[in-house]
Homo-oligomer: A and B are copies of this chain.
Amino acid sequence: MENGQAAFRDALIAAGLLIPTGVDGLYGRSGVFEDVVERFNDLITTWGGGDGADVMRFPPGVARHQFEQSGYLKSFPHLAGTVHAFKGDERAHQSLLRRLEEGEEWTDAQLATNVVLTPAACYPVYPTIAERGPLPADGALVDVYSYCFRHEPSLDPARMQLFRMREYVCVGTPEQVMEFRQSWVERGRALMESLALPVAVDLANDPFFGRAGRMLAASQRDQGLKFELLIPIASAEQPTACLSFNYHQDHFGLLWDLRTPDGAVAHTACVGFGMERVALALFRHHGFDVKAWPAAVRAVLWG
């Protein structure tokens, strides 16, 4: 499996679609790769833009105090990236440079800033909605898109450390958010089938940390809280999750005190699109030359 991943990555690099940096999971993208991502992003808007979502665009970092409150460290401590900076004087600077020069570890003198890398595009949405007071009767619908970070260096080009996620997020009553999620399971499948990709939708779980995490994962599956749309990319046996459909129940509602107009704790759900993964799926199944892609697929993306 790992061989297939490395071979696919090397082929993408040889074709100039990805630019290596010497760090697994950290790549530049060519203009062609980016064009595919942008066209796919527009396609999502074509399918979802009619719902009147509130468009928010956050940078790739979130506020540390919001991140700490989010509970992410309970479930996924191994994936988070905190941003640290030098806060010393000139003498400390000389010491830093000396250690760097001599090949010693210099990063242990870096101190945490108030910024943490965005772990999923929707994380800054919940405190933002909470700030705005009680929800409207028909709930809140938000459209977000950002670079996200997960510390999981991998040979698999579909498992990058820095990647983009587009999401629609729904906050409201259990009925509202379940209907939102169900509609996106159907739309997501139809959207991806319009790109002539082989898709399967399956029950899934998040990569919770540790032993307690295994129980959380099992419980998440038992309750049918997470579905993924899978496409074979680097491996036929282990297809890659390209879209995910998540029902958080009252998890974020309780954390951020999100309330429906009648005072009940709000429920939330989101649909997430892994932008690089979808681009890679298209390159895998239709070839590296976008001009040679099936005419129907080109028509969907480039109109």
Residues A28 and B85 in contact, CB atoms below 8 Å apart: no
A contacts with B: majority SS: mixed
Q: Which of B26, B77, B80, B106 contacts A59 (CB 8 A)?
A: B26
Count residues of A near B (Cβ-Cβ below 8 Å). Answer: 73
Q: Cβ of A30: which chain B residues have Cβ within 8 Å of it? A: 55-57
So how many copies of this chain end up in the complex?
2
| Nearest chain B CB to A75 CB, angstrom units | 10
Is the beta-carbon distance between A210 and B56 smaller than 8 angstroms?
A: no
Bound together, the chains give a CA A65 to CA B55 distance in angstroms of 37
- Taking a contact as CB atoms under 8 Å apart, the answer to whether B83 and A81 are in contact is yes
Q: Are A82 and B110 in contact (CB under 8 A)?
A: yes
Minimum CB–CB distance for A111 against chain B, Å: 8
Confirm or deny: A251 has a beta carbon within 8 angstroms of a beta carbon on chain B: no
A and B contact pairs by CB, cutoff 8 A, 19 listed = A22-B66, A23-B64, A26-B61, A28-B57, A28-B58, A29-B56, A33-B57, A61-B162, A68-B100, A73-B96, A77-B96, A78-B87, A80-B86, A81-B85, A82-B84, A83-B117, A84-B107, A90-B209, A115-B149
Residues of A within 8 A of B (CB): 19-23, 26-31, 33-34, 54-66, 68, 73-74, 77-88, 90, 93, 96-97, 100, 105-108, 110-115, 117, 124, 127-128, 131, 143, 147, 149, 151, 153, 160-163, 209-211
